[in-house]
Structure 1
Amino acid sequence: MLNSLKKNTIYILFGLVAGGFTIAQPAAASERLRVAAATPMLVDGSSKAPIGWIDFCKASPAECDAKPMKPARVKMTPARFAELDRINRKVNAEIEPLTDQELYGVEERWTYPDGAKGDCEDFVLLKRRLLMQAGWPRQALLITVVRDLKGDGHAVLTVVTDKGDYALDNQAEDVKPWFETGYSFIKRQSQTDPNQWVLLGDGVGPVGVAAAP
């Protein structure tokens, strides 16, 4: 289903949507920001939270002590996109990707990469924290479990905007619309409550996915 969606989705230039402006990006200053026209992720019911999130909340309860809130979509502007791009690149550059097995001797452990080393969930947690510190609403910053291009479990940060959902990924420097990643999306945090999770797409995938770095 997702492959078909990617093939059939029509892209429009962000400049046409927002009045013709352009934005210089570090990877290619001449490229325009592309956005999806009405291609939101399909939420297909509730799901169990990954064991990594559950254990993270047990270890750091203050991080998960969040009251339910109304869903929020960020109004995407060139400045907002530049901030996403900057934080994605900053974290990717500063953190060395290593598996939890290499770091802690366990299969799965979600935590902040305070030692400048971590796996994909640790990248996501840090990007989420930095964006919230910059004033982005928590309800629009969703930890998301996927299958990557190799079929391995992986995590990205989904950012919900009025121009579609974007993915911040430690395996890619560019911030992309979710369907441009090539990944199979399995589940993510609910917009109303970060401790509740929802299935994505056809809901295919295990309840707990041990992610690759």
Structure 2
Amino acid sequence: MSNFFKKGAIYILFGLVTSGFTMDVAGAQSVKLASASSMEVISSAKAPMGWLQFCKAQPEECATKPMKPVKAKLSAARIAELDRVNRRINAEIAPVTDQELYGVEELWTYPSEAKGDCEDYVLLKRRTLIEAGWPRQALLITVVRDLKGDGHAVLTVVTDRGDYALDNQADDVKPWFETGYTFVKRQSQSDPNQWVLLGDGVNPIGVAAAP
């Protein structure tokens, strides 16, 4: 068994415990998902300016039709794939601000010359997973406040075992509620050009932190 597979199995076991899955005395899995395992969507929200500018610069990336929301089916192999993609892209891309790269405060785009900021990591991870066959509706760009209270972006993966976060500030793929972040808003599952407000970060400061 590979190290990735072993690690994937460990993450799955952790996810089952923290997300409210139980196992009966006979050893058969009894699937019961606790409400804390998935983010709470409160209402619609404004798309970040960075996303709107990204769509204007690369319209083919945003020319999508609404689709029925789906949850990716999670397994040890699939979470190992998430782990692999997250670690590889984190290792390949050097964190550099948009001001340093482009001379502007905010610019959402794919990494340039193996450099980029948090949104660039997220866009690349999202595209990589879509190309690998993951459903687009389950891969959501998400705006958060990080542990320092700064605006930040992660990729949320919506699965049948809860929501997970891929983050350039952490190599481990974690359930969203284990990141310590305040989740503000993310793309709608049905339409990536529509955004929704999340129950964990409803306050004027949090919303304003995502231009």
Instruction: Deviation per CA, 1:31-60: give whole Å up to 9, x if none.
Output: 764112322101000000000000000000
Match of 2:202 in 1: 203
Match of 1:94 in 2: 92
**Please, which of 130, 133, 155 is the counterpart of residue 132 of structure 1?**
130
Kindly provide the amino acid, as one letter, of the partner of residue 136 in structure 2. R
CA contact (8 A) 2:163 2:175 kept: yes
SS at match of 2:207: coil
Instruction: Deviation per CA, 1:166-201: give whole Å up to 9, x if none.
Output: 000000000000000000000000000000000001
Count of matched residue pairs: 187
**Please, which of 101, 108, 117 is the counterpart of residue 115 of structure 2?**
117
SS at match of 1:57: helix
Match of 1:60 in 2: 58
User: Deviation of residue 209 (structure 1)?
Assistant: 1.6
Aligned pairs (5 A) from 1:1-150: 23-25=5-7, 33-35=13-15, 36-37=19-20, 38=34, 39-150=37-148
* Gapped regions of structure 2 (runs ≥ 5): 21-33
Instruction: Deviation per CA, 1:50-94: give whole Å up to 9, x if none.
Output: 000000000000000010000010110011000000000000000
Question: 1:31 and 1:141, CA in 2 relative to 1: closer, same or farther beyond 3 A?
Answer: closer
CA contact (8 A) 2:151 2:209 kept: no
SS at match of 1:25: helix
Identity value in percent: 70
CA contact (8 A) 1:145 1:186 kept: yes
CA contact (8 A) 1:47 1:207 kept: no
Question: 1:33 and 1:127, CA in 2 relative to 1: closer, same or farther beyond 3 A?
Answer: farther
Counterpart Cα distance in 1 of 2:10 and 2:179 = 21
SS at match of 2:172: coil
Counterpart Cα distance in 2 of 1:42 and 1:65 = 27
Question: 1:152 and 1:70, CA in 2 relative to 1: closer, same or farther beyond 3 A?
Answer: same
Question: 1:122 and 1:31, CA in 2 relative to 1: closer, same or farther beyond 3 A?
Answer: closer
Counterpart Cα distance in 1 of 2:122 and 2:147 = 18
Match of 1:159 in 2: 157
SS at match of 1:175: strand
CA contact (8 A) 1:50 1:208 kept: no
Question: 1:32 and 1:194, CA in 2 relative to 1: closer, same or farther beyond 3 A?
Answer: closer
TM superposition score normalised by structure 2:
0.84
Kindly provide the amino acid, as one letter, of the partner of residue 174 in structure 2. K
Counterpart Cα distance in 1 of 2:112 and 2:125 = 13
